[in-house]
Each structure stands twice: as structure tokens, then as C-alpha cells.
Amino acid sequence: MCPQGLVKSANQVLVHGDPLKIECEIGAAATAAKMLPGIVVILDNADDTVKECGAKALTWVGILCGKPDQLEATAYAVGDQAMVIVGECFAKLTLLAGENVTRGDRLVTAADGKVAKLAVGAMGAQGTVIGEAWTSSNVTVDAEIIMHWHPCLGPAAAS
């Protein structure tokens, strides 16, 4: 019998779905220690290269997958090849420490490729919505949550 709902795997970023994926290279501007599976990445300077996403990003590429033969805690080095999830799915990402999210809360990017709850503010000033929390969390440290990843290309500013 299958478990009800979605289950976070100990060593997998993808929780459920068959999303589009693309192979990229960890870019020269990436911070190697921060290039961990489950972070949100953006394009680096060269084509098909990525680096960790910053807070309140208006652009995004996808979610960095883990190396098939490595533990999830193993960071990529600059120049490594990496699979990146770009399509809609349920995935395990890192919620920024101190964020209080409830299922259904909209999420945006936070520093170092983590995610945070969309704050009240001018449209576009909080970054592009990248999906919704599927699990709740209210802890003072970084936490792994399941989110429904489906970035939207909303307006960059109120119109």
C-alpha cells in the first residue's frame, strides 16, 4: 500500500512529478559551498551555467538536483555538470531560518537559493512567486519543506 500524501525522501530533491530537466554547468560566479541539491539557481554569466539564487529574485532557472552517486549534503564544485529541474513538480527545498509558513503560502527566493514566504508589499518588490508551501514549518533554523514548484512570470512591478 502506498503512503498517503507526499513523502520527503532522505536523498532526493524531487518528491513527485515528471518535470522538465536540463543539464547545466556550475558557473564561475557560483559559491561552491552553497551549491547544494535543493537550492534555487539562476543563470550565471555564460550560457547554460548556473549559480545560487539571491533573495527576492525576479528571474529563476530551477532547482538544483543531487548527484546520483553522492549524498544530498554534497555540494557541487565550479565547473561540475548538474541536472536542474525547470518544470512543475513537488520538490524538497530549504526554507530560510525563522520563516513561518503554512500549507498554501506563496513562496519566493531567499538568500543562497533558499525559499521564504511572500511578504506583503508592492507587486514585484518581493520577487517572483515560485510556488506554494505544501508542508508547514515554524522553526528558528533552516528547514526542508515540500513545495509545489511552479514559478510564474508575473509582473516585475505594480502596473
64 three-state secondary structure: strand
**CATH code of residue 79:** 2.40.340
What was the pLDDT predicted at 86? 95
- pLDDT tens by residue, the chain, 159 residues: 556 788 888 889 999 999 999 999 999 999 999 999 999 999 999 999 999 999 998 888 899 999 888 888 999 999 999 999 999 999 999 999 999 999 999 999 999 999 999 987 666 678 889 999 999 999 999 999 999 999 876 554 443
What was the pLDDT predicted at 46? 94
Q: How far apart are CA 84 and CA 95, in angstroms?
A: 19
Final residue belonging to a domain, choices 36, 55, 85? 85
- Count structural domains, the chain: 2
Q: Is residue 8 part of a domain?
A: no
What was the pLDDT predicted at 159? 38
What was the pLDDT predicted at 10? 82
Answer yes or no: do 79 and 18 share one domain.
yes
Answer yes or no: do 78 and 110 share one domain.
no
Domain ranges, residue 95: 89-149
What was the pLDDT predicted at 2? 58
Q: Is residue 9 part of a domain?
A: no
Final residue belonging to a domain, choices 85, 101, 130? 85
Answer yes or no: do 93 and 141 share one domain.
yes
The three three-digit cell numbers of residue 79, written as one number: 565547473
- Cβ count within 10 A of residue 155: 10
pTM, two decimals, is: 0.90
Q: Is residue 2 part of a domain?
A: no
What was the pLDDT predicted at 123? 62
